[in-house]
Amino acid sequence: MVFKIDEQPLALPVSQVQRVIWAVEITAMPGQSDAMLGMINVEGAIIPVVNIRHLLALPNRELDLDDHIVMIKAGDRSISFIVDKVEGVLHYDESEISTMEAKHGAFASGVLKLDGELIVVLNAEQLLHESVAKKEGMGVLAMAAH
């Protein structure tokens, strides 16, 4: 699945995406770190919203009604993050992904070149791991097991 944050094309394997929803109200948690935006309630499930802009060293901005929330699952945990735009599903072969050092290397599985554009392929497990590694946000993420 390809999406954009600040016009930067990024992707996640569809197998790591649970669902995509329109932006909804995010409830901030007391004492949360800059790596967390808060929590959302999706059909009774409480899902943490990670500040992916912070993790990718991109500038923060206010939530827009046209934004989407991407929910991903890694292991037994679910997290979500806000993207500016969902482009759709891209079909590619694993051999097309270059393992060269990417701008967002800590979270990247590699880079895919499509029509002259570089798309950073993110890894849900790495995003979750980095989110948990931020000590201040750990309590919020621990609540989201399942």
Interval 118-129: pLDDT, tens = 898 888 887 777
Ranking 4-13, 107-116, 132-141 by mean pLDDT, the lowest is 132-141
Q: Would the pLDDT of 146 be above 50?
A: no
Q: What is residue 25's predicted lDDT score, i.e. its pLDDT?
A: 93
Among 63, 94, 83, 106, which Cα is nearest to 17's? 83
Interval 71-103: pLDDT, tens = 998 778 889 999 999 999 988 877 788 875 545
Domains and CATH numbers, the chain: 2-142 (2.40.50.180)
Distance CA 43, CA 16 (A): 20
Q: Would the pLDDT of 107 be above 80?
A: no
3-state SS, one letter per residue, for the chain: CEEEECCEEEECCHHHEEEEEECCCCECCCCCCCCEEEEEEECCEEEEEECHHHHCCCCCCCCCCCCEEEEEEECCEEEEEEECEEEECCCCCHHHEECCCCCCHHHEEEEEEECCEEEEEECHHHHHHHHHHCHHHHHHHHCCEC
